[in-house]
């Protein structure tokens, strides 16, 4: 189980995550829903242990063990990985080389091909380079294929559909289910409620904290109703009550 307990994180006095508590049980599919700028990618970076994203207060636990002080590599060794929101370019590196991490992953051409096809790209791409000759969407698909090849226990997909067209919601569901079928916990971060449907549990993030959590369909419906137009982009909302009060609705 992966857990965030009372996590607080600020960037130069700007509070980004506020007393954040989340739990991710083994073998489940989670969705983390929230508008842009609410701190979702910050959560991904923090769980992964990216240097600038160490919490000022609170901790990250893996199976009850505090892993807050561990770096990215060490956490990956514990089975945690992220397909980051932004798929960076790698000059001079072919997709095949990228997917097999230059030979570090013992995988055949057909393994790579299968992962790539699941992410919606044909095997022609294996020879292409993961540089700016590919679109952001193509690199994103390669990133998803890469995660499929890794065999990690916890996979965070940060906006897996960003840069990719609507058609591929199916693709994303297929990737989530393929990972999950092998027992991997999948945490999908998104601002699109359609994606929430293919999950077991949902968190709604608002101003860096969990505003509501529960069954994905309920959370998605609530999100659609309440967060469609965010009227407090720079303010911290502490509770559902406060939000509903502002919006003048009764739950």
Ligand X SMILES: Nc1ncnc2c1ncn2[C@@H]1O[C@H](COP(=O)(O)OP(=O)(O)O)[C@@H](O)[C@H]1O
In the complex, the smallest distance separating the C-beta of residue 81 from another protein, rounded to whole angstroms, is 5
Residue 42 engages ligand X in binding (rule: CB under 6 A): yes
Among 13, 14, 64, 92, binds another protein (CB under 8 A): 92
Residue 157 engages another protein in binding (rule: CB under 8 A): no
Among 18, 38, 171, 185, binds ligand X (CB under 6 A): 38
Residue 65 engages ligand X in binding (rule: CB under 6 A): no
Tell me which residues in 105-164 interact with ligand X (CB under 6 A). Answer: none
Among 41, 146, 185, 207, binds another protein (CB under 8 A): 146
Residue 56 engages ligand X in binding (rule: CB under 6 A): no
The answer for residues whose C-beta is within 8 angstroms of residue 114's C-beta and 6 or more apart is none
Nearer of residues 39 and 120 to ligand X, judged by Cβ = 39
Angle made by CA atoms 70, 40, 245, in degrees to the nearest 5? 130
Residue nearest to Mg ion (CB): 41
Task: Provide the binding-site residues for ligand X, judged by CB under 6 A.
Answer: 11, 16, 34, 36-42, 52
Task: Provide the binding-site residues for another protein, judged by CB under 8 A.
Answer: 48, 50-51, 71-73, 75-77, 80-82, 84, 86-88, 90-93, 101-102, 104, 143, 146, 150
């Amino acid at each position: 189980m992966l857990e965030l307990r009372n996590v607080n994180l600020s960037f130069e006095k700007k509070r980004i995550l506020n007393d954040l508590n989340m739990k991710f049980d083994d073998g489940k599919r989670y969705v983390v829903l929230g508008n842009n700028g609410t701190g979702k990618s910050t959560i991904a970076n923090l769980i992964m242990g990216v240097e600038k994203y160490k919490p000022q207060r609170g901790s990250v636990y893996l199976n009850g063990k505090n892993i807050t002080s561990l770096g990215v590599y060490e956490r990956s060794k514990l089975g945690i990985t992220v397909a980051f929101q932004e798929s960076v370019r790698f000059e001079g590196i072919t997709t095949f080389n990228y997917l097999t991490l230059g030979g570090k992953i013992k995988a055949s051409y057909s393994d790579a091909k299968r992962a790539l096809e699941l992410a919606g790209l044909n095997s022609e791409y294996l020879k292409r380079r993961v540089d700016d000759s590919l679109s952001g969407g193509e690199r994103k698909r390669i990133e998803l294929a890469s995660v499929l090849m890794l065999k990690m226990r916890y996979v965070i997909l940060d906006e897996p559909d960003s840069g990719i067209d609507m058609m591929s919601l199916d693709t994303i569901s297929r990737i989530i289910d393929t990972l999950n079928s092998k027992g991997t916990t999948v945490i999908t971060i998104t601002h699109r409620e359609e994606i929430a449907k293919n999950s077991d549990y949902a968190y709604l993030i608002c101003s860096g904290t969990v505003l509501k959590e529960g069954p994905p369909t309920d959370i998605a419906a609530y999100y659609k109703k309440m967060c469609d137009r965010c009227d407090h982009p720079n303010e911290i909302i502490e509770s559902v009550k406060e939000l509903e009060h502002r919006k003048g609705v009764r739950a």
